[in-house]
Structure 1
Amino acid sequence: MNQQAHPDGHQAMRTRAVTAAAVGTALEWLDFTLYGALAATVLPKLFFPAMDATSALLASLATFGVGLAARPLGAIICGHLGDKLGRRNLMLATVTVMGLSSMLMGLLPTYASIGVWAPMLLVALRILQGFALGGESTGAQLMAIEHASPERRGKYSGLLGLCSPLSQIMANGVLLALSASMSAQAFESWGWRVPFVLSFVLVIVGVYIRLRVSETPAFVALSKTEVAEVGSPLRDALRLHWRTVLRWMLFFCGPAAIFYLIVVFSLSYVTKTLAMPRQTGFMLLMGANVCAIVGALAGGMLSDRIGRKKALAVGSIATLAMLFFYFQILDTKSFLPMLAAMGFFLGFTQFQSGIQPVAFAEAFPTNVRYSGSALAYTGANLVAGGPMPVLAVWLFAVCNGSPWGVVAVCVVFNVISLVMILTAPETRGIDMNRVDTAANVLGASGNTPMQSHSH
């Protein structure tokens, strides 16, 4: 289709693409977040009743961890397939797998009905959830950004960055509404199942929207080159673009570490160390997530105006400065200053996360974009994000209740992140349809170079 002849059609497709990406990602994060909340409350008694209370809680939280562990596998496999088969096909697959596994979780018999099979099936469904989310995260970003016009890629990126904090607010709202509208016994008996069973809505809405989105122009252009036939995306990303993967992985270690520091460790610090009510901790996190939504959108839009590097540097410097005052402000036990500190901190963390999708997408050529972006994103969460809550608890104990050990580690991650930003090339406005030459790809495969297309 001629873009000049049909500008309205192209704009409609771009709008559909970012809507499909944002709605699908928000719904997938919603299911993932709901499980996290229920794993700490209802599921231990229903699926691990043979254990004592502490062991049951640990086992239930371990099933949450299994989902996190499955994400890298989903990202790597879906990344490779997405670069070979297309963004749209993988997005249809991930939203279907997430929705069906969540719905089946809501229908799952408990330990009282089928014994040890209950927790085993719960773990299996949890692995499917994590696998789907791992593939979804990067694929949805590419679906939106490869459809976007060059001057709006940052805005679309910011819209995707707000999905995670929005899902946190939605998940807490859903659970609050359910628990308020029924007795504790009813919620424990069947109420907790409702949001999971309603996941069939996720499948219907997600698939419907994504069926109405065409394959991205960048992948269509790639499919017309010989690189599409001879390349192995995962191998090519690691062999030809390992420096770019490493750079962006090290960059995202900073925001990933600080995100988990805020949403996991801060809640523990406020409720246990400062002995404030748990409800206060949840209210602080809800307020901080509202700031995170604003931050993600602001980061993406600012990157369209001043470039990815400058905008990322603004967010990185803001979080670095806040690290030195954050716990001192929490120690005041004064609600408004605590809310301001947490909101500023999480807001500027998500400010960077709002730029991450477009920065990652622009850094790689089309033929390895899904694989390269997924490796960088997953690597950062494995190195810094996932271990951060456990590391923070350990450092807090080693430092005799002082948060400065935790602060020191986060400062190191943040400084490395800032260095990666400042030494990276600016990519705003870069051609998204570029691919590696066939000669390069074949050379990486150890074959005789063929005549390459020039892109």
Structure 2
Amino acid sequence: MTAETQRPANAAMRTRAVAAATIGTALEWFDFTLYGALAATILPKLFFPAMEPTSALLASLATFGVGLAARPLGAIICGHLGDKLGRRNLLLGTVTIMGLSSVLMGLLPTYSQIGVWAPVLLVLLRILQGFALGGESTGAQLMAIEHASPDRRGKYSGLLGLCSPLSQILANGVLLLLASTMSAESFDAYGWRVPFLLSFILVIVGVYIRLKVSETPAFVELRKSQVAEVGNPLRDALRLHGKTVLRWMLFFCGPAAIFYLIVVFSLSYITKTLAVPKQTGFLLLMGANVCAIVGALAGGMLSDKIGRKKALAIGSVATLLILFVYFQILDTKSFLPMLAIMGLFLGFTQFQSGIQPVAFAEAFPTNVRYSGSALAYTGANLIAGGPMPVVAVWLLQVCNGSPWGVVAVCVVFNLISLAMILTAPETRGIDMNRSDAPGVLAEGARFMPIGTRKSH
């Protein structure tokens, strides 16, 4: 193939790669976030009816956290295999596991039908979902970003960042439609199962689009260098790049905590503490996620212009300021102010999440990029994201209904996140396809931007 024909072919593959990553990940997030919305509203009385209401809600939200707790295991195993065998093959497996486990969740009997086995099976399926998403999230990010041209990595990263809010809109839209067209009894009996049962579409669409994408240029270059067959990616990520893993994990604790505070706990707070109708709660989340889509795209594109550090710092400072007025505005129970503050809060949170994929990918060399990025990403969700809804419910109870305990915890996470951003190196423009010494660059090594590397 000549250079003239190669360029259009590469451009077409880049477009196909980002489409496959975005659509596939959005479908997986649809199932995962659908469960979060149901865990805060319907599942407590279906799977934990023997408990008093607060305990049932805590137990239900804990099953949501179990899914996040399983993500590091998926990240470790899929990250290791992805660095060894390639990004594409692993993504075919993760989308299949997520889809099948979600379909089974839609068929699951409730506590009134099989007793204690209902929550046990629910937890097992959540573990499978978490495992699949742990491997999926980072793999899809690398699939798109390693195909991207250096000057558009942030833009592609922003497109990946919209997967979560897009899935939130779809999930809450489906729930809003079902809740509006069905009686409460019908929704509790079978309506909540419908979105899960539709997950077979996830398997068909996800596998189809990913079969159309080639392996990433960075991994192909790595295989040519034979380094992929030397060493252990997981061990090398921790041994040579442990500080980098820790830095980016601590950074993402802030956005992860705030994200789940908004999309899971806030729905419970609005519908239970403030007694706002469920339909209104779903509608508020949908509106906030429209802002989140704009935020993710804006963050990714801005990072291409001013760098990853400056763009991330803007988002982090914004969420820190909003924290101090968030619950006060929710307490007004006025729709437009609630919509505005939730939109701003989630928008600036996803502003950072739109930069996260490219910032993480650029922080690691190719042969440990999947393992290192996945450990940082899922570790943050394990530490801060998954526990946040449960911790928030507990703090609300301990503080006699006052949300300031919740605010204090989130402020701490946000300040740690901002500190990690300010101490991280700028990576915009590095050569992600480098193959001269992949896996050798450890913490403290400097990556030379494209066009500045010396010839040997």
Does the TM-score normalized on the shorter chain lie above 0.5? yes
Q: Distance in 1 between matches of 2:325 and 2:199?
A: 41
Amino acid at match of 1:137: S
Preserved CA contact (<8 Å) 1:3 1:10: no
Please provide the CA RMSD for this pair: 2.8
| Range 72-81 or range 123-132, more displaced | 123-132
SS in 2 for 1:434: coil
Q: Any residues of structure 2 matched to 1:397-436 within 5 Å, and which?
A: 397-435=397-435
Residue 94 of structure 1: aligned partner: 94
Residue 148 of structure 1: aligned partner: 148
The verdict on how the C-alpha distance between 1:64 and 1:423 changes in structure 2, with shifts beyond 3 A counting, is: closer
Structure 1 residue 406 displacement after superposition: 2.9
SS in 1 for 2:225: coil
SS in 2 for 1:241: helix
Q: Distance in 2 between matches of 1:77 and 1:45?
A: 35
Question: Is 2:167 the partner of 1:167?
Answer: yes
| 1:404-431 CA-partner distances (Å, limit 9, x unpaired) | 3333332222222222212211111111
Q: Distance in 1 between matches of 2:410 and 2:187?
A: 39
Preserved CA contact (<8 Å) 2:68 2:385: no
TM-score (norm 1): 0.88
Preserved CA contact (<8 Å) 1:230 1:441: no
Amino acid at match of 1:367: N
Residue 339 of structure 1: aligned partner: 339
Residue 450 of structure 1: aligned partner: none
Q: Distance in 1 between matches of 2:178 and 2:280?
A: 20
Q: Distance in 1 between matches of 2:369 and 2:69?
A: 22
Amino acid at match of 2:365: P
Question: Is 2:203 the partner of 1:206?
Answer: no
Structure 1 residue 110 displacement after superposition: 5.4
| 1:59-91 CA-partner distances (Å, limit 9, x unpaired) | 554443332221121111111111111000000
| Range 150-159 or range 418-427, more displaced | 418-427
Preserved CA contact (<8 Å) 2:365 2:438: no
Question: Is 2:133 the partner of 1:130?
Answer: no
Q: Distance in 2 between matches of 1:408 and 1:57?
A: 22
The verdict on how the C-alpha distance between 1:111 and 1:439 changes in structure 2, with shifts beyond 3 A counting, is: closer
Q: Any residues of structure 2 matched to 1:252-291 within 5 Å, and which?
A: 252-291=252-291
Q: Distance in 2 between matches of 1:185 and 1:271?
A: 18
Question: Is 2:212 the partner of 1:217?
Answer: no
Structure 1 residue 390 displacement after superposition: 3.0
Preserved CA contact (<8 Å) 1:293 1:347: yes
Question: Is 2:244 the partner of 1:241?
Answer: no
Preserved CA contact (<8 Å) 1:236 1:441: no
Amino acid at match of 2:103: M
| Range 206-215 or range 248-257, more displaced | 248-257
Amino acid at match of 2:300: G
Residue 326 of structure 1: aligned partner: 326
Q: Distance in 2 between matches of 1:277 and 1:100?
A: 32
Residue 364 of structure 1: aligned partner: 364
SS in 2 for 1:147: coil
Preserved CA contact (<8 Å) 2:236 2:439: no
The verdict on how the C-alpha distance between 1:289 and 1:180 changes in structure 2, with shifts beyond 3 A counting, is: same
Structure 1 residue 12 displacement after superposition: 0.9
Amino acid at match of 1:265: F
Preserved CA contact (<8 Å) 2:253 2:385: yes
Amino acid at match of 1:294: V
Q: Distance in 2 between matches of 1:26 and 1:85?
A: 24
Percent of residue pairs identical: 84
Residue 18 of structure 2: aligned partner: 18
The verdict on how the C-alpha distance between 1:336 and 1:47 changes in structure 2, with shifts beyond 3 A counting, is: closer
Preserved CA contact (<8 Å) 2:40 2:265: no
Amino acid at match of 1:83: D
Structure 1 residue 297 displacement after superposition: 0.7
Structure 1 residue 347 displacement after superposition: 0.6
Q: Distance in 1 between matches of 2:420 and 2:380?
A: 13
Q: Distance in 1 between matches of 2:283 and 2:172?
A: 10
Q: Any residues of structure 2 matched to 1:7-156 within 5 Å, and which?
A: 7-40=7-40, 43=43, 51=50, 54=53, 60-108=60-108, 118-156=118-156
Aligned residues: 443
Q: Distance in 2 between matches of 1:271 and 1:43?
A: 14
Q: Distance in 1 between matches of 2:185 and 2:393?
A: 33
Structure 1 residue 96 displacement after superposition: 0.9
Structure 1 residue 329 displacement after superposition: 3.1
Preserved CA contact (<8 Å) 1:367 1:435: no
Structure 1 residue 174 displacement after superposition: 1.4
| Range 297-306 or range 282-291, more displaced | 282-291
| 1:227-282 CA-partner distances (Å, limit 9, x unpaired) | 21112111000000011111111111111122222223333444455454444433
TM-score (norm 2): 0.88
Amino acid at match of 1:93: G
Unmatched 5+ stretches in structure 2:
443-454
Structure 1 residue 434 displacement after superposition: 2.5
Preserved CA contact (<8 Å) 2:88 2:143: yes
